[in-house]
Structure 1
Amino acid sequence: MNAVTKTDLGEMTAAELSDLFATGEASPVEATRTALDRIERFNPSVNAFAYVVAEAALADAKASEERWRKGEPLSPIDGAPTTIKELTAVKGIPWRRGSILGGSEPSTREIEIVERLRAAGATILGTTTSPEFGWKGLTHGPATGKTLNPWHTGRASGGSSGGAAVAAALNMGVLHEGSDGAGSIRIPASFCGVFGIKPTFGWIPADAPSALFELAHRGPLTRTVEDAALFLNATTGWSPRALYGHCPSSVPDWRKVVREGTGAKGMKLAFSRTLGYARVDPQVAAGVERAVQRLADMGAIIEEVDPGFACPQETLLTLWYAAQAKAIAAFNPSDEQKAKMDPGLLKICAEGASYSALDYLAARQARADLTVHMELFFQRYDALVLPTMPLTAFEAGVDFPGGGEGRDWSDWSPFTYPFNLTGQPATTVPCGFDEDGLPIGLQFVGPSFHDATVLSLAAAYQAAHPEQVICEPREG
């Protein structure tokens, strides 16, 4: 058989590596060394990693190599180089959480999504960067510095799973865990030109206490839809430890869904340009419109229609700010610590602490009403297609495009957080570039627990219209 070179391995997907491990053409140790080499070469330009645990990763890869040699892999992702967002506790790695308040000693605990990835044999390379406690849709702050967009290192990566998106774009590992409370998987995936999915809340057990409750989804960021499906196969399913939400007893084979799904043909899709209230950059609008026409050419039945709800930003912010206030209050930071924290986070915590129980309950009711509204909307459509973001990546290190001001970072991400409020599945897949060479994202949203629909659509679109991937950071 032909040998696979180190450079070739660096561009492989998880699915491709799995096939090579099975035939013996490549080994998990070689794949892990290649991933670590890419981190060493690329990370200084983009700042995507909080911690890298090379020695532990190589030890895990060696064990995986032996399992493949015996023909006894734990799963198709046994040995796949994998990263975890630094908001997620991982044994043996300091739980930094993007903050001066985070841990500095190796964690002694981890949550079920990490346990399930380990049980599937994934090789954990380290943790990826997040803004402080994941409070905004960008990845920069006093404790972490700036995580930069690989397509243009003068631009933002997005957030809060910014490090994961950058690592996915540069293939510094092939599977990347992220979390999404208001768009934190889809925003950076769109900005960095990779695939991301926020699964229906419940598929992945929520066993970590969080005041965000059902807003806080976990899921993968990857170069391909198939790799995300492999991640979901390893992590979805019922757990007695799930604190919130529920999971159906029957869990699909997500990889089979992606490989054998019907795709776009015959799907009835609602196309919303603005949700009825958002402003969209003309280049993004043109890229999304071109993608929708492609879907029509692939056999989808497209109807241009808005879902018919008013902007739910204030509902989101009441729940979001209250949750952040509770999270930070638990640390009781000193004045000295506060001086080293993100001023924006402290500001929203102060506002969140001022809300009454009635304010909070009114927001919970509004969230429930929106959920029902969207479930009824999906009685008429298989999925909703719309932009992921109304703009492409703007300058790094600022909270608002152009260094301006606004109500909140959610001002410029109007298409993501509504579907955290509803808990429904939402994916983003690359659908082109603007004139500066920055990626544009196309979003599919479906009814609860119909993740197979949005995965099948995204996979079919990506297969028919694959976009360019980036091989090394582009300085800007």
Structure 2
Amino acid sequence: MTALHELGAAALTALYRSGQASPVEATQAVLDHIQRWEPQLQALYAHDPEVALQMARASEQRWRSGQPLSALDGVPCTIKENIATRGVPQPLGSAATELKPAPADAPPAARLREAGCVFLGKTTMPDWGMLSSGLSSFHPLTRNPWDLRLNPGGSSAGAGAAAAAGYGPLHIGTDIGGSIRLPAGWCGVVGFKPSLGRVPIHPPYAGRVAGPMTRSVEDAALMMASLARPDWRDAMSLPAQSIAWQRLELSMQGKRIGLMMDAGWGDAVQPEVAAAVQAAARVFEQAGAVVEPLAPISTRAMVDGLDGFWRMRSWLDYQALPPERQRLVLPYIRAWVEGGAGLTGPQVFHGYSQMGALRDAAVAACQPYDFVLSPVSPMPAFPAEQASPLNDPARPFEHIAFTLPYNMSEQPALSINCGYTAGGLPIGLQIAGRRHDDLGVLQAARWYEQQRGSQRPWPHPPGA
């Protein structure tokens, strides 16, 4: 029998319903597993086993009385630390942050609490979420469970590591340029960036979304059924819509699919990554899909403009800190934000306008296709101590050329494992869809999940 900590959400709730296992038993199994892994991974922040067990006991009573709150009642989960949970400070990955208890749950956390999920704790992130790395000035260095010498990616670093390591089935991250999909790709899990506004979030701003990070597409869809419920606090959210999130069947016969292997800028795709993604595309083609090459949809000018705008935004945040707290910011981040100090008003406005140019280019390029396939990143996981694959604050975005466009275009995009390097590291396939076709992307990913080759066993704690 599969260990309780290895089971997905649907399997757990089936056991709860039949009485073969309880939320308390499942939560304790996950907590025991975390205890074996966490000294090496350092994926969690504000981990409180007693709070988790209290929530599990309350769920157990609901199941016994036949009144579960949802299909996720009693299922263990983690929440990225920049998603507020009441009473827990949000360091935002930075030692420069003044720690104050959050007054209320942000919308994604509120939806999971309402669903009866068991909160295991928060997951780690780098300073201000502005790195694709587990490196932080506040949190210990988070590592990749597939190889502890390597980085899980970020900014949803702890969430990616926790999902791959089996810290329960459900994890939620945030994504403004690839922060769900990149760690999902490097950790071999499913990472879904929904359409902007599909999952209410607070505070909202351009490109920012929250989404599931799980071991299976089915669990990601289960999470979406709760996360996509409305919340008035997100003034950028989409209208409430009835979506059959569990209707994951889809035929590929006749589907038009674009295959993008050149992003137009950034690092070149490494041969092992290219081979795995092209092999995945052939799986779609053999099932009757029409797969066509897709030219690059973004340019160096677009990303340079956006980089300047984001640097200025972070520079203003940095300048607002007193000098003694400025010195606590990660040196890589300090070097990056200081690049915004000399920008003029026209330069910043031009940078902001490039976000719109990128949005329009991506939407237009994808419109002829049902789905677009590409690598998630050009390379597999990189050394744990680095802030990015290049580790160069002057060139911070070379690895996000495939993920960034879909944040600006507000399209749904998902990472799913499509193979391994010769050294056994996961390789992520990105599946993107038209704006607001969130269910379609999940359906395509579920179809591929069922067709892809056998997967390697999930990593286990050292010595286990």
Query: Structure 2 length as normaliser, TM-score?
Result: 0.94
Counterpart amino acid of residue 240 in structure 1: W
Q: How far off its partner does 1:406 sit?
A: 5.9
Q: Determine the structure 2 residue equivalent to 1:296.
A: 285
Name the SS for the 1:141 alignment partner. coil
Task: Give the Cα separation in 1 of the matches to 2:36 and 2:185.
Answer: 24
**Comparing 68-77 and 155-164, the one that deviates more:** 68-77
Whether 1:463 and 2:450 are equivalent positions in the alignment is yes
Kept after mapping to 2: 8 A contact 1:81/1:173: yes
Match of 1:313 in 2: 303
Code of the aligned partner of 2:257: L
Matches for 1:272-351 after TM superposition, within 5 Å: 272-278=260-266, 279-311=268-300, 312-329=302-319, 332-351=320-339
CA distance in 2: counterparts of 1:219 and 1:316, whole angstroms? 23
Q: Does 1:357 align with 2:345?
A: yes
Which residue number corresponds to residue 168 of structure 1?
Answer: 163
Structure 2 counterpart of 1:238, one-letter code: P
Equivalent position of 2:114 in the other structure: 119
Q: Equivalent residue for 1:270?
A: 258
CA distance in 1, matches of 2:336, 2:298: 25
Q: Secondary structure at the match of 2:82?
A: coil
Q: 1:410 aligns with which of 375, 397, 419?
A: 397
In structure 2, C-alpha distance between the alignment counterparts of 1:467 and 1:270, rounded to whole Å: 25
Residues 348, 277 of structure 1: CA spacing in aligned structure 2 closer, same or farther, 3 A cutoff?
closer
Please, which moves more after superposition, 332-341 or 55-64?
Answer: 332-341
Q: Deviations over 1:12-40 (max 9, x none)?
A: 01121111111111111111111111111
| 1:84 aligned partner | 79
Residue 104 of structure 1 and its aligned partner are, at CA, apart by: 4.1
Q: Deviations over 1:216-268 (max 9, x none)?
A: 1111100001101111110113332213x241442312122x2xx31433221
Percent identity, please: 34
CA contact under 8 A between 1:374 and 1:447: conserved in structure 2?
no
Q: CA RMSD in A?
A: 1.9
Quote the Cα distance in structure 2 between the aligned partners of 1:322 and 1:406. 14
CA distance in 1, matches of 2:427, 2:252: 20
Which residue pairs with 1:444 in the alignment?
Answer: 431
CA deviation after TM superposition for structure 1 residue 285, in Å: 0.6
Q: 1:25 to 1:265 in 2, by over 3 A?
A: farther
Cα 1:404–1:333 shift into 2, 3 Å: closer
- Is the 2:77–2:171 contact (alpha carbons within 8 Å) kept by the matching residues of 1? yes
Is the counterpart of residue 389 in structure 1 residue 377 in structure 2? yes
Aligned-residue offset at 1:360: 2.9
Q: Which residue of 2 aligns with 1:427?
A: 414
Task: Provide, for residues 127-175 of structure 1, a one-character-per-residue CA deviation record: whole Å limited to 9, x for no partner.
Answer: 1110011111111123223111101100111000010000000111211
Secondary structure of the corresponding residue to residue 311 of structure 2: helix
Shift of 1:177: 1.0
Deviations 1:272-299 (A, max 9, x none): 1112444111011111111111111222
Shift of 1:43: 0.8
Greater mean alpha carbon deviation, residues 138-147 or residues 301-310 = 301-310
1:46 and 1:148 in contact (8 A); partners too? yes
User: Are the equivalent residues in 1 in contact too, given 2:192–2:211 (CA < 8 A)?
Assistant: yes
Judging changes above 3 Å, is the alpha-carbon distance between structure 1 residues 140 and 406 closer, same or farther for their aligned structure 2 residues? closer
2:223 aligned partner: 231
Matched AA of 1:163: G
Q: C-alpha distance in 1, partners of 2:241/2:308?
A: 35
Question: Residue 94 of structure 1: CA displacement?
Answer: 2.6
Given candidates 369, 383, 403, the residue that maps to 2:357 is 369
| TM-score normalised by length of structure 1 | 0.92
* Pair 1:409–1:471, CA change in 2 (3 A): same
**Which residue in the other structure is 1:35 paired with?**
30
- Which amino acid in structure 2 is aligned with residue 87 of structure 1? N
Q: 1:263 to 1:51 in 2, by over 3 A?
A: farther
Give 5+ residue unaligned stretches, structure 2.
Answer: none
Distance 1:151 1:451, change over 3 A: same
Change (3 A) 1:103 1:298: farther
Correspondence for 1:251: 242
1:285-327 superposed Cα distances (whole Å, 9 cap, x missing partner): 1111111111112222111121444233213312322332344
Rounded to whole Å, the distance in 2 between the matches of 1:19 and 1:422 is 38
**Quick check: 1:190–1:439 contact (8 Å CA) kept in 2?**
yes
Distance 1:310 1:430 in 2: 27
Distance apart, 1:51 and its partner CA: 1.8
1:221 aligned residue:
213
C-alpha distance in 1 between matches for 2:160 and 2:111: 21
Instruction: Name the stretch that deviates more: 37-46 or 269-278.
Output: 269-278
Kindly report which structure 2 residues correspond to 1:58-207, keeping only aligned pairs within 5 A, or say none.
58-104=53-99, 106-207=101-202
Is the 2:86–2:101 contact (alpha carbons within 8 Å) kept by the matching residues of 1?
A: yes
**Counterpart-to-counterpart distance in 1, 2:114 and 2:238:** 20
Deviation string, structure 1 residues 390-422 (Cα, Å, up to 9, x no partner): 000011111344x66363331122211121121
SS in structure 2 at match of 1:197 = strand
| 1:388–1:443 contact (8 Å) kept in structure 2 | yes
SS at the partner of 1:177?
strand
Secondary structure in 2 aligned to 1:218? Answer: strand
Amino acid at match of 1:433: Y
The 3-state SS of whatever aligns with 1:188 is helix
How far does residue 467 in structure 1 lie from its aligned partner after superposition? 2.3
What CA distance in whole angstroms lies between the structure 2 residues aligned with 1:404 and 1:89? 29
Corresponding letter in the other structure for 1:423: E
